[in-house]
Each structure stands twice: as C-alpha cells, then as structure tokens.
Amino acid sequence: MKRNTIAFILVLGFTLTTGIVGIQAAEHDQWNAFYDKAPTIVISEPDAVMKGSLPEGKDVIHISVTDIAKFNGHICASSASGYMMTHLALKELYPKGIPVRGQIQIAASGMGEPVCIASTIIRVGPHGHDGDDLVIDKSLNTGTPGDIVMIFQHKDTGKSVKTVFHKFNLIPPKTAKKMKQLLHHKIPEGKANQEEKEYARKTVQSFVKTILLDTPKDVIEVVPLKNYKFPKAAGR
C-alpha cells in the first residue's frame, strides 16, 4: 500500500473517531438551548492561580447556566433565580470591573436553592478565611411567602446590594400548588401520566426562560444598600 494512501486512511480514521466522540459528547449534554442565551458570570478566582489550577495572569473564569445545571442537577425557577440574583448583584457591586472571589460575602433571609446557587458561584460558606462569609440574617425576612432575600456585600468597601426573589409574582399560587403535587409526589411516585409529566416539564422551563432571558423587576428586585452591617455568625 502506498505511503500517501496509508496517511489518508490514518487521517480519515482520526477524523471519524473524533467526530464520533464529539457526537457522543453532544448526545450526553443536551441542556435546553435557551440556557446558552442567558448572561455569563465572569469572576476572578485568585486561589486557582495560587494553588496551581490556573496559570499566572489567567485567573478569570466564566460560569454559565449549564455549569450550574451540572452542579445542581437541573435548572428550575429557584436555581435560575439564584443565578440571576448573583449576576445582577455583581453588576451593581462591580460596575466597571471583574468580581473577585474572596472579596464578597452573602447574608440571606434563610437557606434555599437560590442561596445555595449564589454561594457556589461566589464560593462562600460558613467557614470563610476571615470568618463566616455566608450567614442567615432573619431580619431580612419580608414576611411574604415565597420571598428569598440575599444581600451581597463587598468585604473591603462595605458596598452592599439587596436582591429579592418574589416567587409568587412569577408563579401563581394555584400553579405552584399543582406543580408541588406533581414534582414532589405524583411523578416521583410513578403515579403521573405522560401528559402530566410533559405539563410539569414545560411549565418549569417556561418560568426558567422568563427569569433568565427577560428577568421581570417584580420577580427579582435589586436595590443598592447603604450602611448594612454584616452580622456575625452565631457563636462568634
């Protein structure tokens, strides 16, 4: 067999193999296409350089909705709201610069999925380097069912932004009740029919799409704060 023929076969084999691997990867990563239209969160991670995960001068990382989906297992209204609350708060805290992990702390009205998503993006928890960078401040509770409040604060400057997710301004209470019955009982218990399953999927993702691509101001409220005193964790 001629040398150029062998080379052609090798190249063709490599191309086909690469193509098959690419197709297999695509088949196993089929998140909703509209997730790619949501804003990307850009943040600096100095620890990644310090600990050798990223090269010197390359500390900026990009976080997408699909990154959160992989961590969280899904994207629903609560996780989408946590993502957008974080995105909008960081825009307020760093209007002309890139947010830096380690400079930001979060106080929340209570735990919940939006808070878990925000804490993952910001990389804060109950054991920050300088004490607790994620705390529960019950005084932030609005008293309105479904509301989640988070305050994002720049640790060095004290600049603060309050974000509020008004769940029931997005999801009518009757719909929320029906969805709870489907998602927490009928579907996992194997009692839902195909029509109910499809209704649940489409309904959840319609709320997600609204939050990510056309964030209503009465659903996610963003308010700059002055003189917010970040509380100390219990026992400190």
Asked if the structure places residue 171 within a domain, the reply is: yes
Q: What is the pLDDT of residue 132?
A: 81
Residues above pLDDT 70, as percent of the chain = 83
Asked if the structure places residue 126 within a domain, the reply is: yes
Asked if the structure places residue 203 within a domain, the reply is: yes
Report the C-alpha gap between 104 and 158 in whole angstroms: 10
Both structure tokens of 96: 């002309």
Asked if the structure places residue 67 within a domain, the reply is: yes
**Residue 30 CB coordination number (10 Å):** 7
- Between 15 and 37, name the one with better pLDDT: 37
Strands 60-63 and 41-44: antiparallel
Q: For residue 225, is pLDDT > 50?
A: yes
Asked if the structure places residue 21 within a domain, the reply is: no
Asked if the structure places residue 138 within a domain, the reply is: yes
Both structure tokens of 123: 């990389």
Q: What is the pLDDT of residue 30?
A: 86
Report the C-alpha gap between 107 and 130 in whole angstroms: 15
Q: Could you report the per-residue pLDDT of 27-70, keeping only the tens digit for each? A: 556 899 999 999 999 999 999 998 999 999 899 999 999 999 99
Asked if the structure places residue 26 within a domain, the reply is: no
Q: What is the pLDDT of residue 232?
A: 78
For the chain, how many structural domains are there in total?
A: 1
Q: Could you report the per-residue pLDDT of 128-184, keeping only the tens digit for each? A: 545 589 999 999 999 999 999 999 999 999 999 999 999 999 999 999 999 999 999
Phi-psi region of 88 (alpha: psi -120 to 50; beta: other; left: phi over 0): alpha
Would you tell me the crossing angle of helices 173-181 and 194-213 to the nearest 10 degrees? 130
Q: What is the pLDDT of residue 130?
A: 54
User: Which domain range does residue 185 map to?
Assistant: 33-225
Q: For residue 20, is pLDDT > 60?
A: no
The whole-model pTM stands at: 0.85
Asked if the structure places residue 73 within a domain, the reply is: yes
Coil, strand or helix at 57:
coil
**What's the start-to-end Cα distance of the chain, in Å?**
78
Compute and round to an integer the Cα radius of gyration of the chain.
22
Both structure tokens of 135: 């705390």
